[in-house]
Amino acid sequence: MVASDLCIAEDEFMIHLLDQSLGQLQNWFIDQGLPAYRARQVRRWLFKKRAADFKAMTDLPPPLRTMLAEHFTIWSMQIASHHKSKDGTQKLYLKLHDGEGIECVLLCDDRHHWAICISSQVGCAMKCAFCASGIDGVVRNLTAGEIVEQMLQLQRLLDVHQRLSHIVVMGMGEPLLNLDALLPALDAATQPDGLGISVRRVTISTVGLPKGIRRLAKLDCPYHLAVSLHAPDDEIRSRIVPSNRAIGMKEILAAADEYFQRTGRRVTFEYVLLAGVNDQPEHAKKLVKFLRGRPALINLIPYNPVPGLPFHTPAPAVTAEFVEILTRGGMTAKIRYRKGDRISAACGQLRRLKTNV
């Protein structure tokens, strides 16, 4: 059975079970006069055993399974489309309870490591010029339960012996604008009774919002932080990343430095290479000067084309020269090779579509 076969509750008063923390679920059981340990049993069925519904939770008494089904829904999304690429990448378009939709991706690193790229919002307000996610703007934040459900929907695409190993919050939306929902969702994913994914294998990607970065720093966030820089100076960045006009790169870098100082976790700077825009040798030299002296990783992403947008992918030789200049300047740089681009599942290609499903 795939997630699209699951029963989607239509009763607006049903509680989305995945929106409940362990503590909230334990309190619900206590309020019903039932032992709190039942909450861990339910979570084990959802996260570990991939139960499709309450009927599958066979170590719960039948009357309790009926009671749970009357109060909670597990699934609030429906798979409207499912695409597979030859490189092993799979993309889901999920229709939400309100008719909106999001995309999320399962990535195969090798036979033993499976990463998921999840969304934090319906659409995106950042409107980066080269990215599909912001073309239609932002509609709303996702709830913690909707973020967790993406993880479980993607996990259900794996064979029973396969496990998720990495989470990247690099899908649709700006994660730092939805931390109140994202952080509880990631906590559920990294708990031993959740998906059990190591906090060291979780990455939050942001366009660079200093207030949100500093909030993560004060919380001593255990996750990796990736800042989408995409330019070596404010003039270029403000043209392709509109949010930069009100912030500026120095302020973003100061917040990233604070994150490193407080957490000790190296910051990754994402840099999409756009042919003729930010990929020339002088741009690489400026980037070295801007980031010099920091234990940062520069993640270079040759542009993944989006229909209708006026950008192009640099030639391999141009990308190689860019890397060489960074390396000579003492920077640690790597190229993120494409995965899923043929099904529009690569970096910058996810978007909010319309469907009648």
Q: Give me the active site residues, please.
A: 103, 347
Task: Name the nearest CA neighbour of 223 among 258, 265, 276.
Answer: 265
d(CA 80, CA 77): 9
Which of the 8 DSSP states describes residue 123? E
d(CA 145, CA 55): 21
Which of the 8 DSSP states describes residue 45? I
Query: What are the start-end ranges of the H helices in the chain?
Result: 22-31, 37-43, 62-71, 144-155, 179-190, 210-218, 234-240, 249-263, 281-291, 316-328
Place of tokens 């529009």: 344
d(CA 202, CA 191): 12
Cα–Cα–Cα angle for 121, 177, 255, rounded to 5 degrees: 140
Residues 210/177, Cβ–Cβ less than 8 Å? no
Is residue 335 classed exposed, middle or buried when 0-12, 13-18 and 19+ CB atoms within 10 A define those classes? middle
Please tell me whether residue 234 adopts helix, strand or coil conformation: helix
Place of tokens 């825009």: 277
Residues 224/203, Cβ–Cβ less than 8 Å? yes
84 CA to centre of own chain = 19
Please tell me whether residue 271 adopts helix, strand or coil conformation: strand
DSSP line for 275-317: TTTT-SHHHHHHHHHHHTTS--EEEEEE----TT----PPPHH
Residues 6+ apart with CB under 8 A from 347: 170, 272, 301, 304, 336
